[in-house]
Amino acid sequence: MIKKILNKFINNDIKEDKYAYSKDLKFGTIAKDKAPDTWVRSTCGYCGVGCGLYIGVKDGKPVRTKGDPSHPVSHGTLCPKGLTEHEMVVSSNRVSSPMIKKDGKLNAVEWDEAFTHTSNKFKEIQNKYGKNAVACISTGQFLTEDFYTLGKFVQLGLETNNYDGNTTLCMASAVMGYKQSFGSDGPPSSYEDFSYADVIMLIGANIADNHPILKLHIAKNKKITGKKPKIIVVDPRFSKTANMADVFVPIAPRSDLALINGLCYIIMEQGWEDTKFIQDKTSGYKEFRKHIMQKYPPQEVAIITGIDVKELYEIAQLYAGANSALSAWTMGVNQSSIGTDTVSAICNLALITGNLGRKGASPFSITGQCNAMGTREFGFTSSIPGYRNFANDTDRAVFADIINVPSSLIPTARGYSYPQIIDAIDRGEIKALWVTATNPLVSFPDQNKLRRALKKLDILVVQDAFMSETALEADVLFSAATWSEKEGTYTNSERRCNYAKKAVEPLGKSMSDANIVIEFSKYFEGKYELLFQNFQSSEDIFEEIKKVSAGQLCDYSGMSYKKIEELGGIQWPCNTLYPEGKKRLYTDGFECKTEDGKAKLLALDWQPLAESCNQSFPLNLNTGRTVEQWHTRTKTKTITLLNDLAPQAWIEINPLDAKKLEVESGDKITIASSRGLVDGLIVKVTQVVREGDCFVPFHFSEQLINAVTIADFDPKSFEPNFKQCAVNLYSQKHPQGIKQEEEKVVAEIAYQSTKVSQEYTVAEVIKKEN
């Protein structure tokens, strides 16, 4: 019943003010005294789809959300998280005041005490160990104005380049893959392309769970083109998205790159490539062809991927024969130790078939967080804002001139990436860490390693709106405003800059993230005057972003808050040439940022897994998300409807593995790797995973699956390989696990070596504190 009514909300079938749901899940008419007084038009703050919505406000609090029918992305629809987003703002998990840990307990303090304590500690550490002994981890959850301000202060105020974002855990491989192939980051596509493509190949992309509103754009295809597109789903797991497929490709884990190379082989072997496009728009074809034809014949690819040779030819013919083919991917590709090269391989496939710069034709990276795209452009992490290169003298000088600082202040190289920051803490090189709006004590792989490292810090500062698992461990907690309590912009997967309007005042003493940074800068002599004296509002920050981006690929110079709101978002580049934005990149003029202006065809190789299944750990673990929860549940764990739909973690196992363990759906089992162990996972026996594979969602700290995952990273993007590691499963009837009798001993050793389970959940701790 709940899901039936929820679907009505998603499809906007219920009249806007007549119905709502309460926390006891009983739907009914809204009493007049509970109906919103005003509706504020804004943008959802969860995933990278970028849906438009209205926030219903009563007595200074958000009390309802509803879809914006005029928004070009979502057309009035919202997923379950968007429908309940107002409840997140008034969560019992919110932090209303800055806090300092005293005698092992976080205590509320005034901002002056929090800033004085933290600034003194930062100065002391930098004076003793050097500027880079302080590091910061940012987020894709911030408004663009927030993380631009944060990055500017960390890099130019604190003068440390050990600064990275949690987007490295999800989008860094897409960034580096685009850079390899096109000379710059930036998805070339629009959501509109889903509505025009003849063939849509979804690779490691479970959009039905993770980006459900995108299904609307696929659904429009038949009405627009007159025929239903052929949908190819490439995934080792038969996800909800696979139900949409005309062709489901159940590849072996982490074999995407070999599959794509094999398709390229067949296309070139059969003469199905677009020779004119290759000649006019690409470089490196001769070397690329030689590499593919020597190393990736279909017979070899079939062995690697587990896909029959005949099926490989059918897929290649379907893709190459399309007038417009769209390849889209998310974490199944990115979260891999060969993620960067897999992204570029997908670009190779598009390039040899001419699928770029046209309606329905593109390699399309779909981002995870609401502003993962914005942080790539202006976050100051892997590049200077505006897609400038730290190592380029001209880029540094131009940027310094725009923001009126000495060019010597601009870093000449990127500092440590997120995983490198953790390693440097473990070595004792970094002594202070500032974590903003992210929760590594749930989201980072190999939790045993992470927790060992964090204990070595002299100070851990956490800036968040919520009492996350990481916030509980903080020495200082900066209380931040959250979505609906501040003003600014998010940029979604299709490069659409959306306006997020402030609807209510921040909770308690909390401030917007940008204001926290600006006020904190005043405790460092001369930094506020140098960096922020012109930042009197979020719009002032956006004006500087526009100046920084002018003339760059990610050009925002033609935008304004008013214009963005009126148009329902604007896709960059937006300037005098494209006053209302541009739907696709690499079209007229072919704007690649390579030396010769052409896209690069790259010779890239599949690599076997760093940790293969073995007798001790004979199964492969895949982790991922579910539509009802968000990331580490920092925002969603107190929302009743979402928790009733997905209250705890589960493990999907094949019936053959269930038979070996003598378990049924609903039973509880244990999972372990050589790094750690997780108890109490609820069994779901299902054919969606093959024998020898299992799947667990990563959201739940109570069943902390990242206690098990491996610290294996892409050497180019530094993104973790979350999707594959060797594990074993243990049931009450088979405590020794699958295959080997001695596995019980191995599991017990792993458990004793990690001890990552928490004594209390965050909710229980908050209850105790109150």
Q: What is the DSSP string of 398-430?
A: HHHHHHTS-GGGS-SS----HHHHHHHHHHTS-
Residue 174 near residue 203, CB atoms below 8 Å: no
> How far from 157 is each of 236, 477, 524, CA to CA, in Å?
46, 20, 8
Asked, as a colleague might, if the bond just before 419 is cis with ω within 30 of 0, I would say no
- Give the pLDDT mean for 180-200: 96
CA distance 3 to 5: 5
CA distance 297 to 419: 36
pLDDT at 32: 66
- Give the pLDDT mean for 575-599: 92
Give the end of a domain, one of 41, 61, 89: 89
Is 749 within the bounds of a domain? no
Examine the domain organization and report whether 362 and 398 are in the same domain.
no
**Three-point CA angle 529, 530, 531, nearest 5°:** 100
Examine the domain organization and report whether 205 and 325 are in the same domain.
yes
Q: Are strands 27-29 and 476-479 parallel, antiparallel or unpaired?
A: unpaired
Range of the domain at 298: 172-368
Examine the domain organization and report whether 152 and 184 are in the same domain.
no
Read off the CATH number of the domain in which 429 is found. Answer: 3.40.50.740
Tally of domains within the chain: 4
Is 121 within the bounds of a domain? yes
Count of H-run helices and E-run strands, the chain = 30, 28
Closest CA to 168 of 477, 438, 432, 512: 438
Is 138 within the bounds of a domain? yes
Which of 21-35, 74-88, 143-157 is least confident?
Answer: 21-35
Residue 762 near residue 472, CB atoms below 8 Å: yes
Query: pLDDT digits over 203-262, tens only?
Result: 999 999 889 999 999 999 999 999 999 999 999 999 999 999 999 999 999 999 999 999
Examine the domain organization and report whether 228 and 344 are in the same domain.
yes
CA distance 385 to 378: 4
Is 522 within the bounds of a domain? yes
Q: In this structure, what token pair is assigned to residue 727?
A: 């594990």
Is 468 within the bounds of a domain? yes
- Structure confidence at residue 31 as a pLDDT band (50, 70, 90): low
Examine the domain organization and report whether 303 and 248 are in the same domain.
yes
Q: What is the overall mean pLDDT for the chain?
A: 91
Examine the domain organization and report whether 127 and 155 are in the same domain.
yes
CA distance 433 to 135: 5
Is 375 within the bounds of a domain? yes
Examine the domain organization and report whether 275 and 292 are in the same domain.
yes
DSSP 8-state secondary structure symbol assigned to residue 367: P
pLDDT at 744 over 80: no
pLDDT at 654: 97
Read off the CATH number of the domain in which 52 is found. Answer: 2.20.25.90
Examine the domain organization and report whether 517 and 396 are in the same domain.
yes
Read off the CATH number of the domain in which 722 is found. Answer: 2.40.40.20
Is 611 within the bounds of a domain? no
- Structure confidence at residue 421 as a pLDDT band (50, 70, 90): very high
Give the end of a domain, one of 69, 89, 109: 89
Is 574 within the bounds of a domain? no
Examine the domain organization and report whether 331 and 459 are in the same domain.
no
Read off the CATH number of the domain in which 330 is found. Answer: 3.40.228.10
Examine the domain organization and report whether 178 and 257 are in the same domain.
yes
Give the end of a domain, one of 89, 113, 145: 89
Bridge partners, residue 726, by sequence = 620
Examine the domain organization and report whether 449 and 391 are in the same domain.
yes
Examine the domain organization and report whether 183 and 289 are in the same domain.
yes
Q: In this structure, what token pair is assigned to residue 384?
A: 């200077």
